[in-house]
C-alpha cells in the first residue's frame, strides 16, 4: 500500500456533523494517526495537487521503497514529464 496525504489537507468538520445551525469551527489539519484508526502508524508521503511534477516523483520513490514486497516489481525510470526539468 502506498499512502499519500495532500500537503495542506484538512478535515471538513461541517460535512461530518451534517446540518447544524451556525457551526463556526475551523477545519483542523488532517492527522493520519488520530483521524484514521485502521492505518495508525502507517507512514505516508505528502503530495501537492499544485505541484504535479513533484507528486509523480514522490509516487515513484514510494513505489521503489516497496520493491521487496511487490511480486513482479518493475523498475520505473526517473520521470521526465515536463521540458523544464
Alpha-carbon gap, residue 16 to 6, rounded angstroms: 19
Q: Find out whether 31 and 40 touch, Cβ atoms under 8 Å.
A: no
Tell me phi and psi for residue 72, to 5 degrees.
Answer: 80, 25
8-15, Cβ contacts within 8 angstroms, sequence gap of 24 or more: 8/48, 11/35
pTM surpassing 0.75?
A: no
Question: Residue 6: what pLDDT?
Answer: 83
Which of 2-6, 14-18, 39-43, 63-67 shows the lowest mean pLDDT across its residues? 39-43
31-46 pLDDT per residue, tens: 666 656 566 556 678 8
R_g over Cα of the chain: 17
Amino acid at each position: 500500500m502506498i499512502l499519500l496525504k495532500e500537503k495542506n489537507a484538512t478535515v471538513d468538520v461541517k460535512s461530518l456533523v451534517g446540518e447544524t445551525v451556525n457551526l463556526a469551527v475551523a477545519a483542523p489539519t488532517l492527522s493520519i494517526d488520530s483521524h484514521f484508526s485502521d492505518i495508525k502508524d502507517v507512514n505516508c508521503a505528502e503530495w501537492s495537487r499544485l505541484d504535479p511534477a513533484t507528486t509523480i516523483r514522490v509516487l515513484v520513490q514510494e513505489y521503489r521503497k516497496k520493491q521487496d514486497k511487490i511480486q513482479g516489481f518493475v523498475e520505473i525510470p526517473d520521470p521526465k514529464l515536463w521540458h523544464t526539468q
